[in-house]
Structure 1
Amino acid sequence: MDDKIVDFIPDALYLSLMIHDLDARGLLCPLPVLKARKRLKDLAQGDVLRMHADDPAARIDVPHFCNESGNILRGAVDQSDGSFIYDIEKA
């Protein structure tokens, strides 16, 4: 498998998390971050938003958004097609 995986959540912890999906592929920044912000508002603290994005700017914008908003970037998967999957935990 050519995909680079960066995973900060132990597998056992995933079993107890509520994971919500957001497909932001095809959207240009800042739209992926704006959609993530909107979805995170409806989630409970500790829930995880798994966002799929293919805009290269998201590689900078998503970590910055998490840092500024206080949410936690728990992991990222760099897909072989150039897209990323981000796991964002609501703080």
Structure 2
Amino acid sequence: MEFHQELDARGLRCPLPILRCKKALSDVAAGEILKVTATDPGSVKDFQAFCKQTGHEMLAMAENADAPEKEFIFHIKKRAA
């Protein structure tokens, strides 16, 4: 999937992936897509709740079990202003 900006949140634990995502989204235009890669298993529920609460759209969520530490990949579309 295409994206406009990428955030590497691997190795970070809650709440840092969400806080870094929020900051990264402030740097992209409305309608653009942010790709986030995280290793915290709690990030799955955290990002779902974050998108629901903020109005951003979760376009895709995937797991990469082949990485040394399981990775969770999210594509989030920034909501319109």
TM range (shorter): 0.7 to 0.9
- Aligned residue in 2 for 1:70: 55
Give the partner amino acid of 1:75. Answer: A
- Aligned residue in 2 for 1:84: 72
Number of positions where the alignment pairs a residue of Structure 1 with one of Structure 2: 76
Gaps in structure 1 of 5+ consecutive residues: 1-10
Determine if the alignment matches structure 1 residue 43 to structure 2 residue 31: no
TM-score (norm 2): 0.88
Give % identity: 37
CA distance in 2, matches of 1:19, 1:66: 18
Question: Aligned Cα RMSD in Å?
Answer: 1.2
